[in-house]
Amino acid sequence: MEKERKLINLMEPGHTGCAGCGQAIGARLVLKAAGPRVIVANATGCLEVYTTRYPHSSWEVPWIHSLFENASAVAAGMEVALKAMGRYDNVKIIAQAGDGGTADIGMGCISGMWERGHEVMYVCYDNEGYMNTGYQRSGLTPLGARTTTSPPGAFSWGNLTHKKNMPMIAVAHGVPYVATASVSEPRDLMRKVKKAMEVCGPSYIQILVPCVPGWGIESKLSIHMARLAVETCLFPILEIENGKITRVKRIKPDELKPVTEYLKPQKRFAHLFREGGEEEIKRIQDIADRNLREFNLVSDVDDLSSSQ
């Protein structure tokens, strides 16, 4: 029984992550789907800190931490070394980081890994900011969000930039399997991890993982907020194989939500609901509407089966 339990929970409880942490939920689902025959390279960040507080560890698989920017380089090195020693059979290498370690400081190492075609599954836990170091903006922080380095004031309504399109950057590198996922859709997330594990070459999965203190939400709302991000079309759920979109999570018409339902519960967007913030909210709604059109995110009555 003890052995079976450990095989299920390859990232064990007892860590020091926040209650309701979307990243902790996402990491456990990833490892549960990937299984025990993996080696993990983990970038500096929340996930590394709260799961490995000396002398304890939550990881039931081989796991290594090096630097903030080089999880993908470490993972690529492990893949090459195992193949050189003839010990790569039935083993998969996972590189994982938050959005800062992925879209910003880790971009160079990731680009090299993808260009060289290493057989590594890269997982980005996208909580939309540098949450471990005090809620600074990252390349994946959404438009209008308050962070400690993009505060709203007389000259702006918060973050001035749009989320960097990491899935399409992966596609531009020729990554054969690219997907987005959300902790609000655990079965879809795990299916994509299992599929990525079978890919010959690199794969990339970006998972939306709400951060309770960074987003300014109640811990009980973590999964709800992840679901609203999908239902407002601000975070499209899709798969791209060999450069072509092959599957999209479509939303039933009666489940489509305006972006205000997603923004209001989050303190990082509270300033948008003061006088004058209407135009910024409209800009965010325009992003959602553009995603809806580009990816055909709302299903027709006769097309509901494709939304599963």
pLDDT tens for the chain, 308 residues long, are: 444 444 568 999 889 999 999 999 999 999 999 999 999 999 999 999 999 999 999 999 999 999 999 999 999 999 999 999 998 888 999 999 999 999 999 999 999 999 999 999 999 999 999 999 999 999 999 999 999 999 999 999 999 999 999 999 999 999 999 999 999 999 999 999 999 999 999 999 999 999 999 999 999 999 999 999 999 999 999 999 999 999 999 999 999 999 999 999 999 999 999 999 999 999 999 999 999 999 999 987 444 334 44
| Per-residue pLDDT tens digits for 61-109 | 999 999 999 999 999 999 999 999 998 888 999 999 999 999 999 999 9
Judged by phi (left if over 0) then psi (alpha if -120 to 50, else beta), residue 300 lies in: beta
CATH number, residue 280: 3.40.50.970
For the chain, how many structural domains are there in total? 1
Which residues are CB-neighbours of 243 under 8 A, at least 6 positions away?
171, 174
Q: At what angle do helices 22-34 and 186-197 cross, to 10 degrees?
A: 40
> How many beta carbons lie within 10 A of that of residue 224, not counting itself?
15
| C-alpha to C-alpha distances, 204 to 14, 43, 58, 122, 126, nearest whole angstrom | 28, 15, 24, 5, 12
Look up the pTM and report it.
0.94
In the Cβ-directed half-sphere of 185, how many Cα atoms lie within 13 Å? 26
User: Rounded to whole angstroms, how far apart are CA atoms 277 and 272?
Assistant: 4
Sole residue written with tokens 């992550």: 17
Sole residue written with tokens 């997907």: 179
Sole residue written with tokens 């039933």: 252
Residue type for 105, please? I
| Per-residue pLDDT tens digits for 113-133 | 999 999 999 999 999 999 999
First to last CA, the chain: 34
Phi, psi of 13 (to 5 degrees): -70, 175
Burial class from Cβ neighbours inside 10 Å (0-12, 13-18, 19+) for residue 55 reads exposed
- Give me the pLDDT at residue 305, please: 38
Strands, E assignment, 163-295: 177-182, 203-208, 238-241, 244-248
> How many beta carbons lie within 10 A of that of residue 216, not counting itself?
15
* Structural domain containing residue 208: 2-307
- Looking at residue 139, the DSSP 8-state letter turns out to be T
